[in-house]
Structure formats: structure tokens, C-alpha cells
Amino acid sequence: MLSEAVRLAVGILVVLLPGFSILLVTGIRERLWLAGLSAPLTTGFVLLVSLFTGVTGIRFGLLTTVVALVVVLLVLGGVRWLVRRRRPAAEPAEPAEDPRLRTLTGRAGLVAQVLGALIAVAGVGLGVRTWHKGLGSWQTPTQEHDTVTHAVLTAFTHFTGKAAPWQILPIDVVHDTNVQFYPPGFTDLCALLTDVFGDTMLSLNLATVVFSVVVLPLSVAALTAAVLRHGRLGRGWVELAAGVAALVSVQLYRPGIAFAHDGGVLPNAAAMTLMPGLVAVMLLLGKRNWGRAVLVGVAAAGAFNVHPSALTSVALTTVAALIGLLFTKAGRLAFVRALLPLVLAGVVGVVLIVPDVLALLRLGNGSVVDAPANIRGTQLGASFELVARLPYGGYFDPSGTIGQLVLGLLGLAGVVATLLSRRAWPLLTAWLFWATVMVSFHYSPNSGFGATIGRYYYRVANRLDTHVYLLIPPLAGVLFVALALFVVAVQKRNPVPARFRPAVAYGLVVVLLGALTVTSFRGYMNTGALSLSQRYAAPQFVRYDAADDAAAKWLHEHVAPGEAILNNANDGSTLLYVDYDLPILNIVPDGHSPIQDNITLLAMFNYYPEDPEVQNILRAKNVRWVYVDTSAPTVGTDGRHWTGKLTYSLAPGLSKLSGLPGLTKVFTSGTVSVYRLDLPQSPPRG
């Protein structure tokens, strides 16, 4: 268990340390900024390193990244020293706290800050426990289909040192050709971890867990603190609310657990966790915060590099939250002061995502916005009900009969608390926007307001609804602090002496939060662990198993240089490349490939004795080995598949191989067989 903890600690350092150290060197030491911007800034830094290595041809990897970080820290430290020497008051390292903020002072304030931190740490611990229970081990591979791409891309970057957007992802990993686009930010981080551990699957899991149970609590804590700062609450109250939000965040089924269960869309889940923190720091940009605006722009570009949908999520949520600032005089002043720095952040972000955008446009043949909705419309009343019921849905709960009702009600109670306390208008307007999108989309998923926003999320309800989920923890933080404020502030008929009221308020928060944790939250964590186990510890279907490990090890010992392996990427054969850098032909799980020769082999390999075209392809690619797993899981297709079917499992060309001339079965383990192919010296006449 100690090794598991050490591995997780390394994962946390890789994801947080670069951004954290850059913030410190540039003079930013506010806990809110450190919590909200460290992880996004790390992704931005990794993007810059990948662009540099892509242009110069230098190998991307752990050593290059460490050297680049040291150089960046030295440069930024030198620039800051020069600026402070010439203009000491240009941009204060840490702005003075607004004297109008309502704070808890003395021992009561210290206790509140410590209590908030302890609650947050407890939340992280509960999240780690949930994920470890569902995975069984950080090394357990997920069986989902999207993670085939993530693993191959991580291994590609690890083996080749190529990480720039225009280098990712080659469909032909043997010759590094036919490069398509896949957002590389998440897998670039995973590749750095692979450089440390030498295990791609372990690295994927560590990065996923860090984003889900460390970055997300920090991110929602930052957003909670930001909106309460605008609500004139300061030390003590802010930390207490942020701690509550952090603990509540690890109960959420979306994004982490849901995305890992349904398709394994890990980069999208990671990008979603960055959104609250980015919105938080954007809300606090002030007049002449030019340096901070540049850092925010770099961080936003990094989030886009993790998954392009992050740009829409951050932009729309920030705009909706800024509208909330207009409700108060102080908020309107903050809105005006933030405009120009926000414009600068936007310009920096847009410039840095140009390589990603150009690589994305290279795809052609339709785009995300063309996708039809993955759900049918529901009645308006039922759509409103979803905001409170928060059904699990997806493949875990196809009928949508179970949900996180207590979390939904907690969010709605937080909405009421924001209205009554009038202390979190930005949070309220952001929630109203995404709740409207959610209701509209479920009511009319292919037309209307919700469908228009949904175009940027593949019109997948799971991804669109996540935004409402992400705002529930800050709403819960506001709710608990509103209750504590009521206990402390009420004057008439209050039987509690004034000096004891903070203690009573803290006790109320602890008791209520503890009661929720041992009842409803405990159930949510167990359900989350069960959902994860269906793809990790006790999978409902198997793509990778011990037979694949054994076959990969055997081939590693027998494949000669230059020999290629025909495989079906829907089974566990991608381990050949991921673990041993062996030259497999296929990396796309549904068998649909832009390389027509690969499709021909998947469809017609077993016709090679009499088909000259097939033999010519085999000769040209020097295919000497064939990998077959007869229990490949079923995946859905795009409806335009070469098989003419809506599902795909075992490639037709890899069936009925017994007795074919020149094909010898040389290894068998479980349902996996490896064949040696010896073609005749001359192809048949066509």
C-alpha cells in the first residue's frame, strides 16, 4: 500500500508542481490562485514545452520538461526582480485584502481555516479510497475503448519524444505516418509519468485519479472562495466554505467516474476538472493584473490542449458568472476592472491554441458539431426534475432510475442560500445558465438553446450535464457558510453567548457534514466504486487480460526488426505497442481506419491464399505475425462502418484461419492466438 501512496504522490507532483512553482516565482502566493491555477498552468506549461520540442526536434520527455521548468523559473524570477527594481509597485505580489470583507479574526478565524483544510483533506482521502477500491490497484488497466487511444498515444510520446499537436496521433505507429489529431495535453502528462514508472497503464490511472480527487477539489474550492470574496466574505468563512466544497466534489459521479465508465473519455474528464479553477481566477483578475492575465491565458490554452471543449466550458461559465457581478455596485466595479486583463488572457490563450486548432481542422470530414444527440427528448417537467434527481444514467444506469438526489437537493438549497444571503451572485448566474442548458437539451436534444450549446459536446448528455454537477460543490459551500453565518450573526433571541457562537457554528457544520458523509455520501462513494470496478477491478467485459500480457511478452521475444504484426485493435493486442513498442498495424478500436490497406486486411486477410491484392499488402507491410483474440468486446460504430453494421467485435478477416497455407499457430493463451505467416514466394495470379 505504501508503494501505491508513493506512486500517487509522484502523480500529484507531476500534475501540480510545475504550475505551482511558476506561480510562486512570479510572486503569486494567494491560496485561492495556487489552488485554482496550479494544475491548469501545468497543462499550459506542458503545451509550451511540446510546441518547443515539436519545432526544434528536441525529444519531449521528463528530462526536457524538468530542464525547461528550471529555465522558465530562472527567467521569470529574473524578470520579476527587474520589474520590482524599476517599478516596485507595478503589480503587488499579493494584493492587500479588502478591508470591507467580513472575516473571522483571532482564534476563531484560525480554527475556521484549519477546519476548512481538514475537511478538504478528508475529502481528498475519501476520493482516493473510492478510486482505489474501484481500481483494485493503480496498475489495473481499464477495459474501455477510448483508453486504447489514450494508452497508444501516451506510449507513442514516451517512445518517440513527439508531443506537439501536429505530431499527434499517427494512425500508423510503425512508420509514424497518417497523422490525425487527438488533444495531447492529458497524454503528454501521462507520458511524463511513464518516463518515471515505465508503465503506461499505471500512468493513465495516476493522472486520472489526480485530476478526479485532487485537482477537482482544489478547483471547486477556488471557485467557492472567489464568489465569496465578491460576496464580502474573507478569512475563516472562505476556507470553511472551500473545504466543504472540496469534500462534496469527490461525491460527484460526473465527470470522473461517469466518463471512466462510459467510453473511458479521460481527457474530457480531466479538462472538466480544470474549469472551476480557471473561472475562479478570471473572476479575481483586477486592474493592471497583466502578468496574471498572461498566466491565465497560458493555463486556458493548456486546458484546451487537454480537451478542446474546455474552451467553451470556461468561456461560457465565466461570462455567466461575470453577469452575476453586475448585481452589486462593487461587482460592477470589479467587472470593469477585469475586462482588459480578461481580453489579454483571451488573446494569449487564442494565440497558443492555434497549433491545436490547425491540427483539428486538418481532420475534415465533419466535426463535433455535426453529431446527433445521444438521447431522446423528455417532457419539460421530467427535464426540470433531472436538476434535482441527478440520475446516474449512461451504461451504468440505462433506465435512469437511481441518482444522487441528496446532492441535487443540496445544490438547490445552495441556490436558495445564495438568493437569501445575496453573497454569491456569480455562482447563481452560472448555475442558472447551465441548468437552463441542461433542461433545454433534455427537452429538445436536437434543436433549441440546449442543443446549440450541446453541439460543442458531441450532443452527449453526460458531458453537457457535468457543468451543473461541477457547480454543486460551491453551492454546498455557500449553503454551509450561510448557516454558520446565521448562527454567529443573529442577535435577537439568541441563547448562545457571543463568544461561543463561532464554536457552535463550526460544530453545526461538522455535524451536518459528518451526518451526510456517513449516510448519503457513503452510499454515493460505494456506488462510484462499484461503477469503476465494472471497468477495472471486476470488469463486465474484458479487453486486456493475462492472456494478452503473455502473448505480448512472447512476441517481444520473437519478433525480428522490420516484421509487422496484423492485429485487431479492439482486443488486447495494443499492449504489444504500449508495453514493448512492437510494430502493430491497427490502433483504432472499432476497426475503422483512414488507412484503406489496413481495412482490407481486417476484412479479407483470410482470403490471402487466392487474393493477390491481400498478398501484395501483406508483402508491402512485411506482415509476419497475426494476433487474434476470439473474445474481443463489442463496440459501437459510427453507422458508416465498412462492415455495414452498427457494432464491431472480431474482424471478419481474422476468423476461420485454421488450415490456411503458410499460417502456423505458434502461441496460445486463453482466447489469444499468435500465428506465424510465411507467404509463398510469388503471389497468385489475379
Close Cβ partners of 637 (under 8 Å, ≥ 6 residues apart) = 590, 592, 643, 645, 646, 647, 648
353 in a structural domain: yes
Do 16 and 31 meet the contact criterion of CB atoms below 8 Å apart?
Answer: no
Q: What's residue 193's pLDDT?
A: 98
Which of 479, 509, 534 is the endpoint of a domain? 534
Q: State yes or no: pLDDT of 365 exceeds 50.
A: no
Q: Which residues face 315 on adjacent strands?
A: none
Which band of pLDDT confidence, cut at 50, 70 and 90, is reported for residue 1?
low
686 in a structural domain: no
Q: What's residue 233's pLDDT?
A: 87
| pLDDT tens figures, 442-488 | 999 999 999 999 999 989 999 999 999 999 999 999 999 999 988 88
Q: What would the grid cell of residue 205 be?
A: 490511472
| pTM of the predicted model as reported, rounded to 2 decimal places | 0.94
**One domain, residues 471 and 595:** no
Which band of pLDDT confidence, cut at 50, 70 and 90, is reported for residue 93?
very low
The whole-angstrom separation of Cα 214 and Cα 633 is: 32
Which of 504, 534, 564 is the endpoint of a domain? 534
Nearest to 630 by CA among 605, 657, 591: 657
Q: What's residue 360's pLDDT?
A: 84
Q: Give the count of alpha carbons within 13 A of 36, CB side only.
A: 30
Determine the structural domain holding residue 188 and report its residue range: 4-89+96-534
Phi, then psi, of 178 in degrees rounded to 5: 55, 55
Q: What would the grid cell of residue 102 be?
A: 467580513
**One domain, residues 398 and 504:** yes
**One domain, residues 483 and 555:** no
The whole-angstrom separation of Cα 7 and Cα 199 is: 11
Q: What's residue 512's pLDDT?
A: 95
Nearest to 360 by CA among 399, 305, 401, 314: 305
Please give the single-letter amino acid code of residue 259.
F
Section 399-418 average pLDDT: 95
Do 395 and 262 meet the contact criterion of CB atoms below 8 Å apart?
Answer: yes
Neighbours of 684 (CB within 10 A): 12
Q: State yes or no: pLDDT of 589 exceeds 50.
A: yes
Q: What's residue 363's pLDDT?
A: 65
**One domain, residues 640 and 495:** no
Q: What's residue 497's pLDDT?
A: 72
Neighbours of 71 (CB within 10 A): 10
| pLDDT tens figures, 312-328 | 999 999 999 999 999 99
| pLDDT tens figures, 217-248 | 999 999 999 999 998 888 889 999 999 999 99
**One domain, residues 552 and 464:** no
The whole-angstrom separation of Cα 393 and Cα 252 is: 13
Q: What's residue 492's pLDDT?
A: 63
Q: Please, what is the Cα angle at 546 between 543 and 551, to 5 degrees? A: 90
Q: At what angle do helices 461-489 and 425-443 cross, to 10 degrees?
A: 150
Q: State yes or no: pLDDT of 2 exceeds 80.
A: no
Q: State yes or no: pLDDT of 153 exceeds 70.
A: yes
**One domain, residues 496 and 625:** no
Which of 499, 534, 569 is the endpoint of a domain? 534
Specify the 3-state DSSP secondary structure of 669. strand
Specify the 3-state DSSP secondary structure of 665. strand
Q: What's residue 549's pLDDT?
A: 96
Q: What would the grid cell of residue 448 be?
A: 433549441
539 in a structural domain: no
Q: State yes or no: pLDDT of 366 exceeds 50.
A: no
Q: State yes or no: pLDDT of 621 exceeds 90.
A: yes
Give me Rg for the CA atoms of the chain. Answer: 27
* Residue at grid coordinates 464554536: 503
**Which own/partner pairs from 357-366 qualify as long-range (CB within 8 Å, at least 24 positions apart)?**
358/165, 358/166, 359/165, 359/166, 359/168, 359/181, 360/181, 360/308, 362/180, 362/181, 363/180, 363/181
**One domain, residues 201 and 294:** yes
Q: Please, what is the Cα angle at 222 between 218 and 226, to 5 degrees? A: 175
**One domain, residues 60 and 13:** yes
**One domain, residues 572 and 450:** no
147 in a structural domain: yes
Question: What does DSSP say about strands 635-636 and 647-648: parallel, antiparallel, or unpaired?
Answer: antiparallel
541 in a structural domain: no
**One domain, residues 487 and 634:** no
**One domain, residues 567 and 421:** no
Q: State yes or no: pLDDT of 606 exceeds 70.
A: yes
Report CA dihedral (455, 461, 462, 468) to the nearest 10 degrees: 90
Nearest to 154 by CA among 185, 109, 110, 175: 185
Q: Please, what is the Cα angle at 452 between 455 and 273, to 5 degrees? A: 55
* Residue at grid coordinates 483470410: 606
Nearest to 101 by CA among 223, 239, 217, 279: 239
Q: What's residue 680's pLDDT?
A: 80
Question: How many separate domains does the chain show?
Answer: 2
| pLDDT tens figures, 644-656 | 888 999 999 999 9
Q: For residue 656, is it left (φ>0), alpha (ψ between -120 and 50) or beta?
A: left
The whole-angstrom separation of Cα 552 and Cα 678 is: 20
Specify the CATH number for the domain of residue 614. 3.40.50
Do 297 and 347 meet the contact criterion of CB atoms below 8 Å apart?
Answer: yes
Which band of pLDDT confidence, cut at 50, 70 and 90, is reported for residue 684?
low
Q: What's residue 90's pLDDT?
A: 47
392 in a structural domain: yes
685 in a structural domain: no
Q: State yes or no: pLDDT of 364 exceeds 60.
A: no
Specify the 3-state DSSP secondary structure of 282. helix
DSSP 447: S
Q: State yes or no: pLDDT of 369 exceeds 70.
A: no
Section 317-345 average pLDDT: 95
Close Cβ partners of 2 (under 8 Å, ≥ 6 residues apart) = none
**One domain, residues 327 and 253:** yes
Do 255 and 469 meet the contact criterion of CB atoms below 8 Å apart?
Answer: yes
Nearest to 73 by CA among 104, 41, 110, 119: 41
| Among the ranges given (358-367, 526-535, 546-555, 584-593), the one the predictor scored with the smallest mean pLDDT | 358-367
229 in a structural domain: yes
Q: How far is CA 602 from CA 241, 289, 456, 593, 664, in A?
A: 56, 57, 33, 10, 18
The whole-angstrom separation of Cα 272 and Cα 379 is: 28
Q: State yes or no: pLDDT of 134 exceeds 80.
A: yes
Q: How far is CA 681 from CA 7, 678, 684, in A?
A: 52, 9, 10
Q: What's residue 234's pLDDT?
A: 83
